[in-house]
Amino acid sequence: MNSVSQTTFWSTTTIMASAIGGVLILASTHAGEPRHSEAADENQVADLEVKVERVATNVENNARILDEVKIEIKELRTEQRASSQEILRAIEER
């Protein structure tokens, strides 16, 4: 195995230490910031959450109403079928 020169060792160690130090400095300087300036305001996020909850509630209500309407339509079809049969019997009896 070839030996590594002292200059190469220290150069590589310095580069790695600089990279790790840069990451640590970047992380520590950004740790104090609550968020980036481009991030949404907390009030806007809360407003969006409320709107999403309202939409979800409306969807649930609409699904329930749709189920009720389907049942009513089935009942109307049954009534209409019975009425049509009565009309046909009346016509046949004449």
pLDDT digits (tens, 9 = 90+) for 41-63: 777 777 888 888 888 888 899 99
Listed in sequence order, the DSSP H helices in the chain are 6-31, 42-93
Confidence (pTM): 0.43
- For the chain, how big is the Rg over CA atoms in Å? 37
Residues 6+ apart with CB under 8 A from 48: 40
**Which of 16, 23, 19 is closest to 8 using CA atoms?**
16
Residues 6+ apart with CB under 8 A from 40: 48
pLDDT digits (tens, 9 = 90+) for 13-30: 999 999 999 998 888 877
How is residue 13 written in tokens?
């160690």
